[in-house]
Structure 1
């Protein structure tokens, strides 16, 4: 069972309720706006530090994710998973998990 907080619930198992691809796209859009560059203007395998994101931006991005996805995101997750690709892989739902139930 998820814990309830004033800003949402903690994601069960740390997973966000969004596919890896959608999470990756959201992060690319968010970071591109933050860095004032076109979407896709940075490699998603590069570390957050390589494009200048620090702990302050991690806290702000975690808050934006909480608002977007309705679950609590611990900013430390960005330091444990150092890139958009690594974060999406660790915390997004498998891309095929969002397929229609009974499709197997």
Structure 2
């Protein structure tokens, strides 16, 4: 019990890193994570998110784009461009590109 108590305090004070979200970094997993993330950002139900709608149509700015690329870096465990949301302006495009890139990276490591 005290272990969880102290780790919770350490996280709040910035001394412990946040745990990596558990998602499968394939296209469907990334799309689902992006839908949840966007819904939380704009305070709507995930069912209200249109994955073909452009991020800028949801009112996301460059500051938020940098935040999401940072969160995605934790999931796929590599550096990403902060301009990612501008290069791939919809959830569908971004999930597809990241999944393809992640699969290619995985294949290169295995070879």
Give the TM-score of the pair, scaled to structure 1.
0.68
1:78 lines up with 2:85 in the alignment: yes
The structure, 1 or 2, with the larger RCO (C-alpha pairs under 8 Å, 6+ apart) is: 1
More strand by share: 1
1:45 aligns with: 52
1:42-69 CA deviation, whole Å, 9 max, x = no partner?
Answer: 2110000001111110001111112233
**Counterparts of 2:99 and 2:75, CA distance in 1:** 14
SS in 2 for 1:66: helix
Q: Give the gaps of 5 or more residues in structure 1.
A: 1-16, 95-104
Give the TM-score of the pair, scaled to structure 2.
0.64
1:63 lines up with 2:70 in the alignment: yes
| 1:42–1:53 Cα change, 3 Å | same
Q: Give the gaps of 5 or more residues in structure 2.
A: 1-23, 102-111
Q: How many residues align?
A: 78
Shift of 1:18: 1.3
C-alpha RMSD of the superposition: 1.7
1:13-54 CA deviation, whole Å, 9 max, x = no partner?
Answer: xxxx81101000010011111111111212110000001111
Which structure has the bigger radius of gyration?
2
More helix by share: 2
SS in 1 for 2:46: coil
Q: How does 1:1-104 map to 2 (within 5 A)?
A: 18-93=25-100
